[in-house]
Each structure stands twice: as C-alpha cells, then as structure tokens.
Amino acid sequence: MRRRRDHLFLAAIVVLLAAAGAFHAGAAAERQAVYVGSETCGGCHEAQFTSFRANSKKAHSYENIRKMQKKLTPEEFRGCFKCHTTGHGEPGGFVSIEETPALQNPGCEVCHGPGSLHAASGDPADLTGRVSLQTCAKCHSSERVAAFGFKPMLYAGAH
Ligand code: HEC
Ligand code: HEC
Ligand code: HEC
Ligand code: HEC
C-alpha cells in the first residue's frame, strides 16, 4: 500500500514538473523581442526620433524602393526588403506595406535590435541589440563601410 502511494506521489510530481516546463516554454516565447517600429521608440526618445526623421535617409528609404517597384518583378522587389525595411524575415519583422506599415523603413531597430521588450519596460537591459560594425555590414557591404569611414558615421545622421 505504501509503495503504491509513493508511486502516485511520484506521478503527481512528474505531472507538476511537466506543467512547469510548459509554463517556462511559454514565458520564454513571450520574452522573445519583436519589432515595434521607430514611432513607438519616439514616444520616449523624442529627440532621437525627431533627428532621425529629419536627418537620416533611412527614415524615408521605402519611398526609394517603391519608386522602382514597377520596373521589378514581385520577387526582385521583395529582395529589397532585407535592407530597405525593418526586420524583414525575422520574428515580428516587415512583411508588407499593408500588414506592417510601421516597419516600412529601416528604423531605430535595424541598429538597436528588436525593441518590444524594452519599449514595454523602459529598461535598457531589455534591449537585445549592441551596435557594432557587424550590425551595419548586414546591409552596408564591408567595402562600402570602410569607404565612408565607420567610426564618425556610427550614428548615421540618426541623432
Ligand atoms: C516606455 C519608454 C521607452 C520606449 C517606448 C523606448 N525606450 Fe529606450 N529607453 C527608455 C529609458 C527610460 C532608457 C534609459 C534612460 C535613457 O538612456 O534615456 C532608455 C534607453 C535606451 C537606449 C540606451 C541604452 C543604454 O544601454 O544606455 C537605447 C539605445 C534605447 N533606449 C533605444 C530604444 C529603441 C530603439 C526603442 C524602440 C524600439 C526604445 N528605446 C523605446 C525608455 C523607452
Ligand atoms: C537594415 C539595413 C541597414 C542597417 C543594419 C544599417 N543601414 Fe545604413 N542605410 C541603409 C539603407 C537602405 C540606406 C539608404 C537609405 C536611402 O537612401 O534610401 C542607408 C543609409 C546610410 C547612410 C547614408 C546617410 C544617411 O543619412 O542615411 C549612412 C551613413 C549609414 N546608412 C550608416 C549606417 C551605419 C553606420 C550602420 C550601423 C551602425 C547602418 N547604417 C546600419 C540600411 C541599413
Ligand atoms: C544588401 C542590402 C541592400 C539591398 C538588398 C538593396 N539595397 Fe538599396 N541600398 C542599400 C544601401 C546600404 C544603400 C545606401 C547607399 C550605399 O551605401 O550605396 C542603398 C541605396 C539605395 C538607393 C539610393 C537611395 C538614395 O539615397 O538615392 C536606391 C534607389 C536603392 N538602394 C534601391 C534598391 C532597390 C530597388 C533594391 C531591390 C531591388 C535594393 N536597393 C536592394 C542596401 C541595399
Ligand atoms: C544607424 C544606426 C542607428 C540608428 C538607425 C539609430 N541609432 Fe540610436 N544609437 C546608435 C549608436 C551607434 C549609439 C551609441 C551607443 C551604442 O553604441 O549603442 C546610439 C545610441 C542611442 C541612445 C543612447 C543615448 C544617445 O543618444 O547616445 C538612444 C536613446 C538611441 N540611440 C535611440 C535611438 C532611437 C529612438 C532611434 C530611432 C529614432 C535610433 N536610436 C536609431 C545608432 C543608431
């Protein structure tokens, strides 16, 4: 009788552990930062946002590819998204102008990383990105980066 109770007790623990595991997996998924768009960042970083919109070509870059859309096949046009929008091909990134209008230009998050967690908490520790040469090289080829002198241009007219 005693053994049987032990077994039941163990079974109950196994069920509880499995439930806790599932809960943790859910929490981890929720902790995955996604892209929110520059305007959301501007809610708390007004100076950076105002300067970015006024001075950075990135802030208006979708317009540059849109102008060329007619001359491109839909597939070629989608090929532009990787560099001329925010987070294309990544969780919560740009999909299309209709579905994700807030991510239509390369915004704050192409340099600072997806910012949903930080934008919700205001905690710098929740920022996933660290700005480095590799960050830029994803879109600016290393020859281009070397040519325009990386260090002084790190802010890219953003702020
Ligand atoms: C709810 C307000 C809020 C929003 C929205 C917000 N931030 Fe912040 N952010 C803060 C606060 C508060 C700090 C810490 C104080 C400071 O540096 O201004 C901070 C700091 C930062 C820093 C400096 C981090 C460091 O380690 O010093 C960066 C970069 C940043 N935010 C980028 C962003 C980006 C990109 C977005 C949009 C995805 C964003 N923030 C949205 C409140 C916010
Ligand atoms: C997601 C792609 C992407 C990333 C990452 C990226 N850029 Fe850019 N950047 C662009 C595009 C696209 C343009 C051209 C915008 C246009 O004119 O349509 C551009 C333009 C520029 C310019 C031209 C001047 C201006 O006002 O915009 C500079 C300088 C620049 N980027 C520097 C950087 C630096 C430095 C980094 C890294 C810290 C970086 N960029 C990261 C895509 C990117
Ligand atoms: C691998 C990243 C990347 C891809 C993919 C890409 N671009 Fe760009 N594009 C850039 C960068 C970076 C710049 C900024 C200027 C430079 O460094 O030469 C730029 C600049 C431009 C400009 C000049 C904007 C200005 O300031 O006048 C146009 C137009 C443009 N791209 C159109 C396109 C189109 C159309 C596509 C898709 C067929 C495309 N790009 C794909 C990275 C990219
Ligand atoms: C082209 C890359 C790039 C873009 C785009 C960009 N930043 Fe930054 N940002 C930087 C760099 C580089 C730093 C210096 C700190 C570092 O290395 O992380 C920085 C620093 C900051 C800081 C810390 C305080 C300061 O001003 O130094 C804040 C806040 C910030 N950025 C917010 C923003 C917001 C909001 C946007 C969009 C409106 C934005 N950034 C767009 C590159 C960028």
Distance of alpha carbon 130 from alpha carbon 121, whole angstroms: 18
Distance of alpha carbon 34 from alpha carbon 128, whole angstroms: 10
pLDDT digits (tens, 9 = 90+) for 72-87: 999 999 999 999 999 9
pLDDT of residue 155: 57
Distance of alpha carbon 27 from alpha carbon 82, whole angstroms: 29
**Contacts by 16-24, CB closer than 8 A, 24 or more apart:** none
For residue 134, give the ligand nearest its CA.
2
Check whether 132 has a pLDDT greater than 70: yes
Residue that the structure tokens 């032990």 belong to: 6
User: Is there an atom of ligand 1 within 6 Å of 108 CB?
Assistant: yes
User: Is there an atom of ligand 1 within 6 Å of 45 CB?
Assistant: yes
For residue 122, give the ligand nearest its CA.
1
Distance of alpha carbon 138 from alpha carbon 106, whole angstroms: 12
Check whether 148 has a pLDDT greater than 80: no
pLDDT digits (tens, 9 = 90+) for 12-30: 544 444 444 444 444 445 5
User: Is there an atom of ligand 1 within 6 Å of 40 CB?
Assistant: yes
pLDDT of residue 128: 79
pLDDT of residue 129: 78
Residue 86 CB coordination number (10 Å): 27
Report CA(126)–ligand 2 centroid distance (Å): 24
Mutational test site, ligand 3, from 73, 77, 80, 82, max ligand atoms within 8 Å of CB: 80
Report CA(113)–ligand 1 centroid distance (Å): 12
